[in-house]
Amino acid sequence: MDSPRSPQPEEVDIARHRRRLLSISVVPTLLTLGNLVCGFAAIHYASKPIGPSTVLGWSTLTIAGTLVFIGMLFDALDGFAARLTRSASEFGAQLDSMADMVTFGVAPAYMVLRLVSYYYGGPDHYTGILGPDADNAYGKIMWGIAAFYICCTALRLARFNAETTSTDEADHRFFRGLPSPGAAGAVASLTLLHQHLALVRFHEVPPDGFERTSALALPLITLLVSAAMISRLPYAHIVNRYLRGRQPFAFVAWMMLPLAFAVWWFQVGLAACFTIYALSGPVRRLMHRFQSRGAAAARDERSPTNLR
């Protein structure tokens, strides 16, 4: 009688993966799907005509921007829940990237394109979303910037998954390149600020050219944060580097300043925080270069040839 055939290593790996997919961690998965739904809802509200909505009377773009930040909260909570329940897995990482692609990639790009399309020709001359079929170079460029942002988000998420091999928090104190939530936060916060100023603060008598000028500045910022995502600029992981563990008393006091500022000027404070974070990468790189040059100059001065 023939002896039973022993399973090949490839078959063992396939069976193991199948067993893993039969059970998933419920809470982290639901939180990740909540992030995904927020991104989809943000696109839904951004596609509506710009103006007051039935939700608290907010602008449709204000609702879309708010949903991006709610998705950001879900994104933070799903990782926390996975670590708390010790259920971090490759499945969860891949699902998280798919959700991030929608909430932090497609939704902010569509919001910017929608806003610029509306204010570029003025609300009375609005003809639709600018795209590659536009009859002018400006419309094609604006659509290209939005598409570039989406591509950079996809590349940023794929690179993070490919390069991240450890789940230890000590190995995640810095990011290489602007994280996609940081880029989306910069775009969404500036969109919220624009809508607040245009529809609330300056609703009666807006300054001449404010709406169009501020709307045209958003694509430039979108282009810059897109380049920052695929760069190797160092960005601090805010939670792991500054909010975990013990910190000096003075640090806690300084942290209260932006919180107090945001209480009185929420939209301004939110935009300022994300803009400063987006700029922190280039600033940190320049400071490192200056320090390296200063250290090299000091070593040259102490070298034996200069002491003769």
SS3 53: coil
> Which pLDDT does position 127 carry in this prediction?
56
- Non-local CB neighbours of 206 within 8 Å, separated by 6+ positions: 197, 198
Packed helices 60-84 and 107-120: angle between N→C axes, nearest 10 degrees: 170
Residue 112 corresponds to which tokens in the numbers above? 């910017």
Q: Tens of pLDDT along 45-92?
A: 999 888 888 888 788 999 999 999 999 999 999 888 887 877 777 888
- pLDDT class of 224 with cuts at 50, 70, 90: very high
- Residue 75, judged by CB atoms within 10 A of its CB (0-12, 13-18, 19+), counts as buried
CA angle, 154 as apex, 112 and 171 as ends, to 5°?
Answer: 115
Two tokens, residue 105: 């990639």
Q: Tokens at residue 176, please?
A: 């290489």
The tens digit of pLDDT for each residue in 150-180 reads: 999 999 999 998 887 665 555 466 788 999 9
The token pair at 289 is: 């270069």
What amino acid is encoded at 16 in this protein? R
Structure tokens at 235: 């960005």
pLDDT in tens, 237-272: 776 665 566 667 676 777 777 777 777 778 888 999
**Rounded Cα–Cα distance for residues 96 and 99 (Å):** 5
Q: Which long-range contacts (CB under 8 A, 24 or more apart) does 88-94 make?
A: 88/167, 89/20, 89/24, 89/25, 91/20, 91/21, 91/24, 92/24, 92/25, 92/28, 92/29, 92/32, 93/161, 93/164, 94/161
In the prediction, which pLDDT does 200 show?
Answer: 74
Q: What is the pLDDT of residues 86-115, one digit of tens each?
A: 777 788 889 999 999 999 999 999 999 999
Task: Delineate the domains of the chain, giving CATH numbers in brackets.
Answer: 23-307 (1.20.120.1760)
DSSP state of 59: B
